[in-house]
Every structure is written in C-alpha cells, then in structure tokens.
C-alpha cells in the first residue's frame, strides 16, 4: 500500500480488522518498526482524535512525529496547474509536497470540504495535490469526501461489539446547527457495504448522499421504522449533497432519544465525535451503557497504527 486515500486501499478487510484487534492487545509489539522514521501531520482543520491518536500510533511504532497546523501557520497553498500566482496564495502544492517529502517518511493530511463548490470538493484537490507531488506515502486524515481512518475504526468497533454474524446497522442523519461535510458518512457507507451487515440509511428527504457511494444501500425516510431491531445506531449529521453544503432541514425530531433507542435491539450507539449533546443525541443516550463512542475513539489509535504498520512494512 503506497497511500491510504480511502477504504479501497484495504485489500482484505477481515484480515485488517483482526490485525488491528491484535495490535490493540499488544500495542508495543512493533515498537522498533518505525525507528528513525518520521511522520509529518499537516492539519488544515481542527482535530482532537485524529491528531492525538495518529501521534500515539506513530509513537507506539517508535516513529518521530512532526505536527503542523497549516491554516494560519503555513503559507497559503495554490493547487491549480499553470496558475499565475499573483493573488493570495504564496506557495504551490508542487513545492510544498516535495519539500515535506525530504523531511518526512510518511505524511498525513487533514483537509475538509469547503462546502462551497461540490465539484471542487469531490476533486479532492488538496489530498490529491499532496499525493501527486509527494515522494512519500500519504495518509488521509479526513479529506473533503472521505474519512477512511474513522471508517476502519468503525469496522473494528462493530466487530468487537457485534453479537450476531450479520448485525443490523443503521446510519441515522441527525440535526446540527452548522453545515458539515459528508466525509464520515461516505466512508462509513462504503465500509458497511464491505462488512457483513444488514445496513440501512435513514435521513430526511433531501439529504441523500452521492448515489455513486450509496449504490444499492436501502434508504428509509422514516427514522423510527429504520431503527427497529437495530444492533448498532451510528448517528451523524451531514449537509445536503444535491443542494450542496446546505442545511435544508434541521428538524429536531431527528435527534436520537432514549425513546427511539427503545425501538432497537438494545443497540449500541456510535458517533465519530465531536458530538453536540442534546442536538444530535440526548445526554441520557450518550451517557448510557449502550453508548460506545469512547471506546470507538480509543480504536482510532489501532486503526492508525495498523495503517502506519502496513506502510512501514512495505517501505
């Protein structure tokens, strides 16, 4: 594996999940694999989990870690080919990616969707700019359209907690005051299509994700119906794909409540975090024994460690 761009870079999902769970049991088992290697983590957006779990994963492998908050600290980057750079951007990704490649052995990049221009976001110009011009492996730490480290984490977490071979998993849209990207939902949908799961998406009309991602996954516009007998409820907001980046509906009745959880098969509650309490999901649900969001966040380390291990073993 040269880059970890999306979950399509996972060659054998059951094998990867099994290996991540083994790493979790003995996280220092490869503590010299990354000796004298350096990972650079570039953040164009805020982060708590991705930043710290990826650092922790690298440290568990004996790597050196350099972190840079690009926005506000780095030069403003240009991505276009042949651009006459007489406007605000000071440096082209062509130089930036090559320069970073001399300082690091692996690069992680976080660059969210701007939610202004769908084609621009879905072209993944920032992540692809680094992948195309870096001479080292690049890891997606949440790009405009994908969050594959989160999706691998989610697969590990569902595998750990499932009580049946084919659990019912419901991805439920929830209200949110701000327009959020589709990256987490997109990667989770892609992951559920690769797992053995009875998978349903529920959201209000107008919040359909890209059809090239959802493919044949059933969509139920009736949330309570979708939640019936669920083993896992993954709650997440995303902004509209068709009316791109718009909050066309913030209907509070889509919040996950205790009453709704009672429709499920004693389901586990998942969320990638950060989560807006009592907007997305009620306190009583988030604080219940059915909530596995903290353990889910813990698994971010082992997902990242597995990806780094695979890259280091190849190099």
Shortest gap between Cβ of 83 and ligand CP (angstroms)? 30
Using rule CB under 6 A, residue 71 touches ligand CP: no
Take residue 19 and report the two structure tokens written for it: 């290996």
Distances (CA, A) of 271 to 15, 170, 256, 283, 309: 24, 12, 11, 13, 26
- End-to-end alpha-carbon separation of the chain, Å? 9
Shortest gap between Cβ of 46 and ligand CP (angstroms)? 7
**If you write DSSP's letter for every residue of 16-29 in order, what string do you get?**
HHHHHHHHHHSTTT
Using rule CB under 6 A, residue 176 touches ligand CP: no
Shortest gap between Cβ of 49 and ligand CP (angstroms)? 4
Please give the size of the binding site for ligand CP, defined by CB under 6 A: 9
Interstrand relation of 106-110 and 91-92 (parallel, antiparallel or unpaired): unpaired
Piece of 60-68, 156-164, 234-242, 270-278 that binds ligand CP (CB under 6 A): 270-278
Using rule CB under 6 A, residue 55 touches ligand CP: no
Using rule CB under 6 A, residue 281 touches ligand CP: no
Closest CA to 181 of 88, 89, 46, 291: 46
Cα–Cα dist 246/267, whole Å: 30
Between residues 50 and 202, which has the closer beta carbon with respect to ligand CP?
Answer: 50
Using rule CB under 6 A, residue 272 touches ligand CP: yes
Shortest gap between Cβ of 43 and ligand CP (angstroms)? 9
Using rule CB under 6 A, residue 50 touches ligand CP: yes
Between residues 47 and 157, which has the closer beta carbon with respect to ligand CP?
Answer: 47
Edge to edge, the sheet with strand 219-220 lists 219-220, 198-202, 168-173, 232-236, 268-270
Phi, psi (rounded to 5 degrees) for 122: -75, -10
Binding positions for ligand CP, 142-171, rule CB under 6 A:
142, 150
Using rule CB under 6 A, residue 113 touches ligand CP: no
Piece of 65-73, 81-89, 90-98, 271-279 that binds ligand CP (CB under 6 A): 271-279
Which residues pair with residue 233 across a beta bridge? 170, 269
Cβ burial of 298 (10 Å; 0-12, 13-18, 19+) is middle
Using rule CB under 6 A, residue 273 touches ligand CP: yes
Using rule CB under 6 A, residue 178 touches ligand CP: no
| Residue numbers at the binding site for ligand CP (CB under 6 A) | 47-50, 142, 150, 272-274
């Amino acid at each position: 594996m040269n880059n970890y761009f999306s979950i399509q870079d996972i060659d054998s999902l059951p094998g990867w999940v099994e290996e991540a769970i083994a790493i979790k049991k003995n996280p220092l088992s490869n503590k010299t694999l990354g000796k004298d290697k350096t990972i650079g983590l570039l953040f164009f957006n805020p982060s708590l989990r991705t930043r710290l779990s990826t650092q922790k994963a690298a440290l568990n492998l004996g790597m050196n870690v350099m972190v840079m908050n690009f926005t506000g600290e780095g030069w403003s980057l240009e991505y276009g080919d042949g651009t006459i750079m007489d406007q605000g951007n000071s440096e082209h990704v062509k130089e930036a990616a090559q320069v970073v490649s001399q300082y690091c052995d692996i690069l992680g990049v976080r660059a969210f969707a701007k939610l202004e221009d769908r084609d621009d976001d879905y072209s993944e110009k920032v992540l692809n700019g680094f992948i195309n011009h870096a001479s080292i492996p690049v890891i997606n730490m949440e790009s405009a359209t994908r969050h594959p480290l989160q999706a691998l984490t989610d697969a590990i977490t569902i595998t750990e907690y499932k009580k049946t071979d084919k659990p019912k998993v419901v991805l439920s849209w929830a209200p949110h005051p701000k327009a959020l990207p589709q990256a987490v939902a997109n990667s989770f949908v892609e992951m559920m299509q690769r797992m053995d799961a009875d998978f349903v998406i529920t959201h209000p009309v107008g919040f359909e994700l890209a059809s090239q991602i959802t493919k044949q996954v059933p969509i139920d516009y009736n949330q309570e119906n979708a939640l019936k007998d669920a083993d896992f409820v993954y709650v997440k907001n995303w902004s509209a794909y068709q009316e791109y980046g718009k909050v066309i509906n913030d209907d509070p009745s889509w919040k996950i409540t205790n009453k709704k959880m009672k429709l499920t098969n004693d389901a586990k509650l998942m969320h990638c975090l950060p989560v807006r309490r009592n907007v997305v999901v009620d306190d009583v649900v988030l604080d219940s024994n059915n909530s596995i969001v903290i353990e889910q966040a813990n698994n971010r380390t082992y997902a990242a460690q597995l990806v780094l291990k695979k890259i280091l073993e190849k190099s």
